[in-house]
Structure 1
Amino acid sequence: MYAVIKCGSKQYFVKEGQKIKIEKVKLEVGELFDINKVLMIDKKNNKIEIGKPFVNKAKVSAEILAHKRDKKIKIIHFKRRKHHLKQQGHRQWFTEIKILKIKGN
């Protein structure tokens, strides 16, 4: 059983027991929460239900595992022959969650 969910401004393809990284959520580590924005769900009898825009009475239960920071990316602004170089680094915060259960209607 799998589903496509919307968290923040991104969409994720998830299965039960899977760990994924989402945008940072302001909840404590170990806390359980539900994601109600389910765009598509595949039930056990291979029936696919697509929402308009979300599937009614469908939700995905998840547990927060950790709040971490991603790998550093370098931002470089360079203008040739102008003696100009500007460098900056950035590390994005994310929340790691584990999908516990996918519930349809």
Structure 2
Amino acid sequence: MFAIVRTGGKQYRVAAGDKIAVEKINGEAGDTVSLGDILLAGDGGEVKDASGIAVSAEIIAQTRGEKVIVFKKRRRHNYRRRNGHRQSLTLLRIVSVG
């Protein structure tokens, strides 16, 4: 069984046993969280009603993503700015769907 969940402004297709990296969710490693916004559920090729479905996940770790370099430049104006950004992420292991 699988489900499509929305968390952190993004959508993920999850099934039991999957590992995903989502935007930061409060909690410690080992805590169990429930992903509430379920858009779609299915089993094999058929779509099921998502109203009674619950997705629970275990937090594996709190980590940060790769560094993204933001470089701004305006030609012929001697303007250059270089910034870096690392997004805070939470690694989740999907325990159950259903």
Instruction: Tell me the TM-score normalized by structure 1.
Output: 0.86
Q: 1:66 aligns with which of 56, 61, 65?
A: 61
2:92 corresponds in structure 1 to 97
Once the two structures are superposed, the pairs formed by residues 1-105 of structure 1 within 5 Å of their partners are 1-43=1-43, 46-49=45-48, 55-103=50-98
Q: Which stretches of structure 1, 4 residues or more, deviate above 4 A after TM superposition?
A: none
Percent same amino acid among aligned pairs? 32
Structure 2 letter corresponding to 1:24: K
SS in 2 for 1:61: strand
Cα distance in 2, alignment partners of residues 90 and 47 from structure 1: 41
Indicate the RMSD between aligned Cα atoms, in angstroms: 1.3
Cα distance in 2, alignment partners of residues 36 and 87 from structure 1: 38
Instruction: Tell me the TM-score normalized by structure 2.
Output: 0.92
Structure 2 letter corresponding to 1:56: S
Cα distance in 2, alignment partners of residues 88 and 34 from structure 1: 35
The Cα shift of 1:34 comes to 1.3
Cα distance in 1, alignment partners of residues 26 and 36 from structure 2: 17
Q: Deviations over 1:48-88 (max 9, x none)?
A: 125xxxx2121111000000010000001101111111100
Cα distance in 2, alignment partners of residues 59 and 36 from structure 1: 7
Q: How many residues align?
A: 98
